[in-house]
Amino acid sequence: MRFLAPLLLVALLGACATPASTDPAPVDGTPIVIGTQHVIHSEIYGADRIINVQVPPAYGDTSTPPNVLYVLDGGLEQDFPHIAGLGQLASLSWTIEPMLVVGIETVDRQNELTPPPANPGYAAEFPTAGEAAKFRAFIQTEVMPFIAANYETGGRTAVMGESLAGLFIVDTFLNAPDMFDDYVSISPSLWWDDRALALSSPGQLATHLSAGHRLYLTMGDEGDAMQTGLDELLDALHAQPADTVDWTYVDRRTTATHATIYHGAALDALRWLYATPPYDYGPAPWYMTEGGIPPAPKPN
């Protein structure tokens, strides 16, 4: 019997052995490239920074250069790919103008997208926060001139972002409105610093606002300080003369959450800002008309 034990052990080890890999063999293919990535050296940050650019399909072939959409959190692992997809959609659906999409990668979102907090509790919890003005200077003096020098661009610029990036956009709209023509702020984090930005908005609008800008605001089912801050900003906008700013607010509290709002809201915003005239497809074919009758066969 003492000879059976090793045989039994071998049998058990064999039963527990890892099965052969069933992964498919690699196949040949061609990488799919979305846009062009540029590494620019920032004197402001003393470091290299990444921007991603997608041009519309007809870029360079028309007499009308595309307007520019700057996307915050615009890295390849951030929001650039899905917003670049909306830029591509413009050439397929003809519902929005072709645009040049520029993704600006953020490195430290708390640092780059928030204004300085007055409440020391925020400074303690978010020790790197509060340098939105520095990030704004980087965009205005380094990113935008790089795009202007290397790409053909149209007459308007827009900036888009969500959450903390949406806060940055509201901050820019209130404090440096002439930096962009159009602003898209999706679920802005107006809870920041006890809603200080929203509470200061009446005075900021009266001091800094100039005509010719457009602002798109929307928020999902956020509640609490997020919605309260937005309501305070909306009250300030309602109080402004009608000819000073063209703005709209889309309430998505029953249809979206913070996690689901961005892509659909971005498309809606672009259709509001850069809609094209309805395309004339001509008469509908007979099989798409009610009670359609096929045409008579052609004579031989």
Task: Kindly report, residue by residue over 45-57, the tens digit of the pLDDT.
Answer: 999 999 999 998 8
Residue 10 belongs to a domain = no
CATH code, 54? 3.40.50.1820
Report residue 137's pLDDT band, with 50, 70 and 90 as the boundaries.
very high
Q: What Rg do the C-alpha atoms of the chain give, in angstroms?
A: 26
Percent of the chain surpassing pLDDT 90: 67
Q: How many domains are there within the chain?
A: 1
Task: Describe the crossing of helices 262-273 and 80-93 by its angle, rounded to 10 degrees.
Answer: 40
Report residue 8's pLDDT band, with 50, 70 and 90 as the boundaries.
very low
Tell me the pTM: 0.85
Residue 30 belongs to a domain = no
Are the C-beta atoms of residues 112 and 73 closer than 8 Å to each other?
no
Report residue 249's pLDDT band, with 50, 70 and 90 as the boundaries.
very high
- Domain membership of residue 123 as a residue range: 38-274
pLDDT at 295 over 90: no
Among 100-109, 122-131, 265-274, 276-285, the range scoring the smallest mean pLDDT is 276-285
Q: Buried (b) or exposed (e) across 28-66, using 16+ Cβ within 10 A?
A: eeeeeeebeeeeeeeeebeeebbbbbbbbeeeeeeeebb
Task: Name the token pair of 39.
Answer: 């590494």
Between the alpha carbon of residue 289 and those of residues 283, 285, 292, 294, the distances in Å are: 10, 7, 5, 10
